[in-house]
Structure formats: C-alpha cells, structure tokens
Structure 1
C-alpha cells in the first residue's frame, strides 16, 4: 500500500469478491475453474466444428466463429488471474500487467459488441432482403468486416488505455474488482485530467454499447414484424428458432452491462460486492452459455456434431474389429 499524495505505483492489489471469507476461497476457485473449462471446451468445440466441417463455411457461422474467439480470448485474459487470486492468494498485479489486462478486457468487450451487431444485421438482411442476402453476405465480405471489427477496435482501445495509464495515482492501489478494468483503476487516480479522461471513456463505452444495441433492438423488432406477416407456420417457426437464440445471447451480454454503466453515471449506488458479482455475471455467463446455444439450438451445427460422433464410433468399431482379427 502506498501513502504519498501522488505516487508512482508499481503494482495493484486485486481484491476479488470483497468480504469473501478464506474458507470459501477453495470452492470459489474450483467454481471459477469449471467456468473457465466450460468456456475453453465449449467455444473451442464450436470453433473446431465450424472450421473442419466444410458445409458450415457460411457467413452466419463465420460470425459465430468470431464470437467464439472473443469468448475464448476474454476467458483466457480474465479467469486465470482470478483463479490464482483464490487458489494461491496471488493478489499482486504489476502496473504493466494490470493495464495490459484492462486493454484486452475492454477491447474484447467492444469487439464482442460489434460481432453481435453483425449477427443482428445478418438476420435482418436474411429476413427482409432474402434475394440480396447472398450478394451482400459472402464469406469474403463477412471475413473482411470481422477483421475490421478486430483491428479498428484494438487501435481505438489503445488510446483509451494509454490515457488512463498517464494519470497520477493517489494513496491507494487496491482494486475492488476481480480483474483490472477502466472504472476500478481510474477510481484510484487523481489530477486535473481525471474528469476529462473519464468522460471520454464513458462516451466511448456508450458508443460501443448503445449504438450496436439500438440497431440490434431495431433489427429484431423488424424481424418479429416480418415473422407475423409470414403465412407459412413452418417457415415462421424456422425464422424464430434462428433468431431466438441470438436474441438470448444479446440479452445476456447487454442488459447487465448497460445497467452497470448507466447506474454508475446517474449516481445510483449499490454495494461493491453486488457490482463485482454483476460484472462477473455479464462477463462470464454469456461466454459459457454461447456454445450451448450454438450446438443445441443451431440445426446445422448440431447435425454436424452428431455426424462427427457417428463417424468416430464407426472408426472405433473398425479399429476394434481390426485388432480382434
């Protein structure tokens, strides 16, 4: 802990879940490890299935691939650090490591938001402009769009994090969060530039969240209107079964995240523990749930997985027969 009015902080202390008693450290670290494994295995399976099954090389599934990559990366950036905090009581994060983590946390969150926007746009065009869909949404156009989402966001977030890193930090270096993010770090800062940097960061967050969310709400509202106009029950059910999982994913991502940002800016206060728990929920639950939605709610991916399992059984039976002979 530092004591000078203006300090040159070398490290930060990660609190984790405030008030958690030591006897619960083991169960919490095991739970977080299970969540980490679910994110890694589930999203890894999604990526592998779409990559190696030729019939899934379509624009919609390329978007799913990018969503799975953001979930994999986010889980890798955040969870090992939290698990180490409770497994080995490793509470120290160096200055550079903390700002590096903050960079990837916010960059991956912004990329995830843009990928969800692309997913909504994909469904919107498919429902309202089906004849133009094959022209507008090709593997090439989707790949380029997703690449731009990654590249431009990584560049944009570099400025936000650099500005935060240039602030002087005062008196304390304890982060009331499970990982380093902009709000928890800049609360420890001081100086005349603090208000301006926070305003820029909030404006950036609102653009990152609210612009995609506004279009997503509009697109799905338009899709539901289009569905009501479809006379064929089977086709109507197909459209709803495709859009409903994606809408569920979007809700999991945006609702708690928007609540935290809005509450923080309108002066609504709730306990630090509640803030940490809500942050962990909107950060990790979508990443763990997404593969279940892709694999069990998307007919093409589910069929591909079933076929792979059947082929594996055939190969095993053939091998056993060969060995027995």
Structure 2
C-alpha cells in the first residue's frame, strides 16, 4: 500500500518548464488571443449556419458539430493555462484535473468520429451522387453525429476510472499546459500503471485509427472518381467541394501522426518542444477551421460576400439620407 496516496489533493499545471518568468505575460496574452479566435470563429459559424436557413444542409450541419466541439475544447483547455501565466494560478483540484482529462480526450475522440461522418458525406456526394439526396439527409447526419458524440463516452469513462484507481505517490506536477492522461498517470505508482497505459493506448487507437481507416478509404475512392472524370472543369469543381474537408482532416491527423512516428523511430524532443507540438496540433485546428469553412466553402463564402455587400449598401443609403 502507498501511505501518501491520500495526501495528494491537487495538481499543479507547470506549462513550459523552460519559459522565463519575464515572458509569462506575453504567453498568457497569446493564449488569450488564441482563445478569442477559437471562440469568435466557431460561435460565428454556429450562428451563421443557424441564421442562414439555406445553409442548413448535411455538409454544414457536420461543420456545426465540429465547430461546437472545437469551441468546447478551447474552453476546457485554455482558461487554466491563461490563469497560470496571467495570475500565477496553476493549481487544479485532484478531481478537477481528472475532469479536464476526460474532456480533453473525449472531445479529441469526438472530433475523429465527426471527421468520419464528414468523409462519409463527401464519399456519397462524389462517388454515388444520384443516391446522395436519399442517403444523406439532415436527419441521418444528425443521427450519425449523435453517435460520434456518444460512442467515446463509455471508453473515456473507463480510461478515467482506471486512472483514478491508481495510487498517486509521486509529484503533483503536471508537465503540460492541461491535464492529460500521460501527464497524470506519470505521477502514479504500482504494478497496474503499465496495464492502464496499454489499455488506454488500445482505446485511443480505436478512436483514432478506426475513423482514420475509413477516412483514408473514402478520400482514396473520391480521388479515383475525380481522376476518372473526363472534364477538367468537372474535376476542379468536384475537388473544390471536398477541399475544406481534406484541409480539416489533414490539420487534425498529420501533426499527430508526425509526433507518433517520430517517437516510434526514436526521434526525441525536449519537454518544451513536445508540449509546444501537442499544443499546436490540439489548438491549431479549432482556430483555423472556421477560416477554412469561410474561404474554402463556396456557399458560405458567397453568402458572406452577399451579406457584406447588402450591409455596405444599407450603410451607404443611410449616409446619403
């Protein structure tokens, strides 16, 4: 038994270990700016699609689910690290840290399954376009996205329960900008730590690799269908309809794959660089996705331009009066 297990009442978010205190204000301001971008961009997408009834189609409903997920992820992860660098408040309660860990991994898993739904939408639209109106409707997309939110729940509850069952007898320092499974369980002791780590890895691979397998198959089939088209104009138009989904999927998966492959081949990073890479692939997609929606999706872009022109004309009329 570990006698000092009950003494651990809180964790301390370390952030970047090598960061000089003179840069704390700058880093907290940067994190706050990133959070504003994430919040403003994703709230705008949700509000815009809800307001514009003609955009309430399956493709844009998937965007809304992803925007909601991105907004929640930024809200779960950023306020505490901003507080750590801005107010020197890096303390998180024991159960608060596990709660944050649950949402960090849960929302990441949900993103993976929503990207699967997104790939399915484009696969049907391009590979079997005549059946698209019957197979992909708002109701079906809502059900599929509902499954994307529901499937990871039991897996993440299991992961958190297993982590909670471990005895914690090491430091309470979380060498990360938020509580995640690796940083928490690295402070655990006992023979069960390896078992929990292997179980968690298997569940994480299920949530990441199962959707990724279908996504790769879908986009491979889409590319083949595009290549077979005789019209160059048709190829460009079809490719443009799935380019937002391709950008979003690559933003989510490629950095993660790079880090995993680098670790597998033995290429090691310093702790600060590792934390920075994790933050990049965690926070870059939520910040950039709304920009991709607006500039790479024709319907949203054209609606925005039309609204801006209407507003400009309305202002000019008021000024002239």
Give distance in 1, aligned partners of 2:92 and 2:245. 36
Gaps of 5+ in 2: none
Q: TM-score, normalised by structure 2?
A: 0.94
1:277 aligns with 2:282: no
Q: Which residue of 2 aligns with 1:46?
A: 45
Give distance in 2, aligned partners of 1:291 and 1:31. 19
> Does structure 2 retain, via aligned residues, the 8 Å contact 1:106–1:157?
yes
Give distance in 2, aligned partners of 1:282 and 1:171. 29
Q: Which residue of 1 aligns with 2:96?
A: 97
SS of match in other structure, 1:270: coil
1:141 aligns with 2:140: yes
CA offsets per residue over residues 10-55 of structure 1, 9 Å max, x none?
1001110121001111111111111111111111111111111011
Greater shift in the superposed pair: 84-93 or 256-265: 256-265
CA offsets per residue over residues 95-121 of structure 1, 9 Å max, x none?
111111111111100000111111111
Q: TM-score, normalised by structure 1?
A: 0.93
Could you say if the C-alpha distance between residues 53 and 119 of structure 1 is closer, same or farther in structure 2, counting changes exceeding 3 Å? same
Q: May I ask how many residue pairs the two structures share in their alignment?
A: 320
Q: Which residue of 2 aligns with 1:178?
A: 177
Q: Which residue of 2 aligns with 1:80?
A: 79
Output aligned runs, 1:211-230, within 5 Å.
211-230=210-229
Give distance in 2, aligned partners of 1:157 and 1:271. 28
State the Cα distance separating 1:261 from its structure 2 match. Answer: 4.3
SS of match in other structure, 1:48: helix
Give distance in 1, aligned partners of 2:166 and 2:315. 60
> Does structure 1 retain, via aligned residues, the 8 Å contact 2:252–2:285?
yes
Q: Which residue of 2 aligns with 1:35?
A: 34
Give distance in 1, aligned partners of 2:255 and 2:233. 34
> Does structure 1 retain, via aligned residues, the 8 Å contact 2:243–2:296?
no
Give distance in 1, aligned partners of 2:286 and 2:18. 26
Q: Which residue of 1 aligns with 2:207?
A: 208
State the Cα distance separating 1:258 from its structure 2 match. Answer: 2.9
Output aligned runs, 1:213-292, within 5 Å.
213-261=212-260, 269-292=268-291
1:123 aligns with 2:122: yes
Greater shift in the superposed pair: 83-92 or 311-320: 311-320
> Does structure 1 retain, via aligned residues, the 8 Å contact 2:170–2:189?
no
SS of match in other structure, 2:12: strand
Q: Which residue of 2 aligns with 1:303?
A: 302
SS of match in other structure, 1:93: strand
Over aligned residue pairs, what C-alpha RMSD do you find? Answer: 1.9
Could you say if the C-alpha distance between residues 96 and 199 of structure 1 is closer, same or farther in structure 2, counting changes exceeding 3 Å? same
> Does structure 1 retain, via aligned residues, the 8 Å contact 2:155–2:203?
no
Q: Which residue of 1 aligns with 2:106?
A: 107
> Does structure 2 retain, via aligned residues, the 8 Å contact 1:167–1:193?
yes
Output aligned runs, 1:59-74, within 5 Å.
59-74=58-73
Q: Which residue of 2 aligns with 1:25?
A: 24
Gaps of 5+ in 1: none
Could you say if the C-alpha distance between residues 98 and 265 of structure 1 is closer, same or farther in structure 2, counting changes exceeding 3 Å? farther
Give distance in 2, aligned partners of 1:169 and 1:260. 28
State the Cα distance separating 1:201 from its structure 2 match. Answer: 0.6
Give distance in 2, aligned partners of 1:316 and 1:200. 60
